[in-house]
Amino acid sequence: MTIEKNYKELLNLLHGIYNKNEAACIADMAFEFVTGYSKSNRILHKQEILNEYQQKKIKEISSELSTQKPIQYVLKEAWFCNKKFFVNEHVLIPRQETEELVQLIASNNLNNKSIIDIGTGSGCIPITLKNKFSNSNITAIDVSKDALEVAKKNAQTFDTEINLLQLNFLDEKNWELLNNYDFIISNPPYVKKSESSTMQKNVLSFEPHTALFVPDDALIFYKKIALFAKKHLNNNGKIFVEINETLGKKTKQLFEQYRYLVKIIKDMQGKDRFLECVKDIY
């Protein structure tokens, strides 16, 4: 069977699950993974016959995609800041908004600075920053041992030296295991349980709930970060966090209660998405 015919079959399957543009994007990713051809090259080679292994792989991928499993988990890879990261169901799929967070943080000079990433997941944030600022000292923590295995694999792939530590950040007794830092960064869980009914199945059914949802207190991670930074953020240091777009003002007010100077920064879609905080020294 030709590439063109296999592609059309997968596209028809995906049209029953996703909109037209999403379906085409997912099909393109699947066929580039299997054939090695980009979209333009695939069209040039559309009459080429897939070999037995390629046809088997397309069938396997199609079967998994039919369950609405995200293509990144099917292929076990996701692009982030122009790098291909390994991902699986133990970590969140990196989002475009988090790329914006990295760009925001990287607008500061991080060389020779100490940094902690709280809830690192795949390690995409600290690895990207370390590759840009090789003289920085970065610690990445996560409560999940499985997530840290993913981060470790990615760090090895990109030959990146970061300190990985399994730690439950919500337990304040664990803070004594940590140092002081010039930058505290985090993309913590910030989706409220009540919002789960509005989420797509491919997110709700496959991405790790411990990395998505917060407990009863929607701002618990931000409260802990604000408290942690009172003692563990160096003078002239900064906090950068990704936030729930519906809780921007409340999250800002929380940090202000702990005497931080806070700025809300919108994402590319104009939504409240990030906070930049510094200590109020007065």
Confidence grade of residue 279 (pLDDT, cut at 50, 70, 90): confident
Query: Both 52 and 143 in a single domain?
Result: no
pLDDT score, position 56: 95
Residue owning tokens 């590439």: 3
- The answer to whether 228 and 253 are in contact (CB under 8 A) is no
Mean pLDDT across the stretch 184-197?
74
Provide the 8-state DSSP code for 262.
E
pLDDT tops 90 at residue 120: yes
Q: Is 120 inside any structural domain?
A: yes
Instruction: Residue 119: give its domain's CATH number.
Output: 3.40.50.150
pLDDT score, position 115: 98
Q: Helices marked H in 89-207 — which ranges?
A: 96-106, 124-132, 145-157, 201-204
pLDDT score, position 274: 98
pLDDT score, position 34: 96
- Between CA 31 and CA 42 the distance in angstroms is 8
- The answer to whether 84 and 77 are in contact (CB under 8 A) is yes
Buried b (16+ CB within 10 A) or exposed e, 79-109: ebbeeebbbbebbbbbeebbbbbbebbeeee
pLDDT score, position 208: 58
* Total domains, the chain: 2
pLDDT score, position 281: 62
- The answer to whether 148 and 119 are in contact (CB under 8 A) is no
Structural domain of residue 211, as residue ranges? 91-279
Query: Both 132 and 228 in a single domain?
Result: yes
Per cent of the chain over pLDDT 90 is 86
Mean pLDDT across the stretch 71-93?
96
- Between CA 51 and CA 30 the distance in angstroms is 15
Pairing mode of beta strands 163-166, 137-142: parallel
pLDDT in tens, 201-219: 555 455 555 555 666 688 9
Mean confidence (pLDDT) of the chain: 91
Confidence grade of residue 280 (pLDDT, cut at 50, 70, 90): confident
pLDDT in tens, 149-178: 999 999 999 999 999 999 999 999 999 999
Pairing mode of beta strands 260-266, 163-166: unpaired
Least confident of 207-216, 239-248, 267-276: 207-216
Query: Both 127 and 197 in a single domain?
Result: yes
pLDDT score, position 213: 60
Query: Both 171 and 220 in a single domain?
Result: yes
Query: Both 229 and 97 in a single domain?
Result: yes
pLDDT in tens, 28-76: 999 999 999 999 999 899 999 999 999 999 999 999 999 999 999 999 9
Handedness of CA 233, 234, 240, 246 (dihedral sign): positive
Confidence grade of residue 261 (pLDDT, cut at 50, 70, 90): very high
Q: Helices marked H in the chain — which ranges?
A: 3-15, 20-35, 39-44, 52-65, 71-75, 96-106, 124-132, 145-157, 201-204, 209-212, 220-232, 248-257
Query: Both 198 and 259 in a single domain?
Result: yes
Query: Both 177 and 225 in a single domain?
Result: yes
Q: Is 16 inside any structural domain?
A: yes
CA 20, 191, 199: angle at the middle one, nearest 5? 30
Per cent of the chain over pLDDT 70 is 90
Mean pLDDT across the stretch 85-108?
96
pLDDT score, position 207: 55
Buried b (16+ CB within 10 A) or exposed e, 150-164: bbebbbeebebebeb
pLDDT score, position 1: 85
Q: Is 161 inside any structural domain?
A: yes
Q: Is 12 inside any structural domain?
A: yes
- The answer to whether 180 and 166 are in contact (CB under 8 A) is no
